[in-house]
Amino acid sequence: MVDIVFWALVALATVTGLVTAWALGANSNSPPFAPAIGANAISTMRAAFLIGILAALGAVTQGGSISETVGAGLINGVAFSSLAATAGLLTATGFMIFGVYSGYPVPAAFATTGAMVGVGLSLGGSPAFDTYRRIVTFWLLVPPVSGGLAYLTATLLRREDIPETVGVPLLAAVVGGIIANIQMSIIPSPAGATTASLASFLSRLVGVPAVGGAPVGIGVVTVLFAIGSFVFIRRRTQDSVDRGVKTFLVILGSVVAFSSGGSQVGLATGPLENLYTAELGLPGLVLLAIGATGILGGAWMGAPRLLQATSREYAQLGIRRSIAALVPGFIIAQAAIALGIPISFNNIIISGVIGGGLAGGSAGVSRRKIGVTLAFWLITLVASIAIGFGLYRVFAAVLGG
């Protein structure tokens, strides 16, 4: 009887995690390709197909760090059981569903983090204040950093003395250099490491020695990736500025969608970390694959409708402002993955849109709307803690444990 109850709770927790991943795939991974669709660079259905594949790949290869933070770094002294994971995931998913149907911008990272903190406190755990300081500091830095990078990007693209045949390739060079250094689990890594970058792998493969402790090989590979990206987009824009910009939009959308999967899957799999790795003894890759499956299904089934709506919004923003919003999104998402910090893509993109708009003299977003958005983010965080705490108490009282 005990085994039946245990496996029933495991199944319930897994299904809840899949539903959460599905919701993330349908909503959080769509914005990266919206500018490309708005510019008629790619069709809606093809974009939805690519979003699913790329986000799922990002989830499997980059999702481990944030999943571990959500699953083990938010509360000290306790481990999340299947019942606790279910309570936290139901709370977070409930907020996401409310956001979809109400039109309020509910940040998934805020809802999940708050829910798991609430559940952990209900279990009797103690707050992990060091982790909270890191997360809150990162969250507070996202708006000014994303907005500032978007402002600089949009300013570069608007300068009359810098033609698009130079400005767009320069941005491509930045993106290419970062791609060379993103950490992925599928790249062969040195002993004791779980992830590695293309730059570090190629540097080791060639056998470039460090000079004075500095990884010269990694720097050389990074520069080569940047030059290659610059030359490719430069040639495309020289042949046709319109075709070159559209090509860059599709590439940028692809890498942001990949990063989105890596940064968002942990919100669905993190609560299940202890259950799968400690109690069931399964490797973390199995859990990430489950999350990736949910994200893939959500992207393919739910993204087309959202893409059509958001692509119209990005078409109104214009190509320059769209690029300005996505470049910071890619950079910040990769920084969050490297640090293992759960983030909200809504937070990044909205900040980027505002920053890109300021470069043209107006943010295009009312102060009232910004205030309402910030207030709702704070309400989401506080309310999810309270609801997660209470929901687990109810589950424990009814089901036991």
Cα separation, 33 vs 310, in Å, equals 9
Cα separation, 310 vs 264, in Å, equals 19
> Tell me, what's the pLDDT at 239?
92
> Tell me, what's the pLDDT at 259?
92
Tens digits of pLDDT across the chain (401 residues): 557 877 888 898 899 999 999 888 877 777 777 777 777 778 888 888 888 999 999 999 999 899 999 998 999 999 998 899 999 999 998 888 887 676 666 788 999 999 999 999 999 999 999 999 999 999 989 888 988 888 888 888 888 888 888 999 999 999 999 999 998 988 887 766 777 888 888 888 887 676 666 678 888 899 999 999 999 999 999 999 888 888 998 899 899 899 989 999 999 999 999 889 888 888 888 999 999 999 999 888 877 776 766 666 665 667 777 788 888 889 999 999 999 999 887 678 777 777 777 766 654 555 666 677 778 888 889 999 999 999 999 988 887 65
> Tell me, what's the pLDDT at 382?
93
Other C-beta atoms within 10 Å of 104: how many?
Answer: 15
Helical spans, DSSP H, in 318-361: 319-339, 345-358
Cα separation, 363 vs 96, in Å, equals 26
Cα separation, 344 vs 108, in Å, equals 6
> Tell me, what's the pLDDT at 383?
95
H helix or E strand, kind and range, residue 75 = strand 75-76
> Tell me, what's the pLDDT at 366?
59
> Tell me, what's the pLDDT at 361?
60
342: three-class secondary structure by DSSP? coil
77 burial via Cβ count (<10 Å: 0-12, 13-18, 19+): exposed
Q: Which residue type occupies 113? A: T
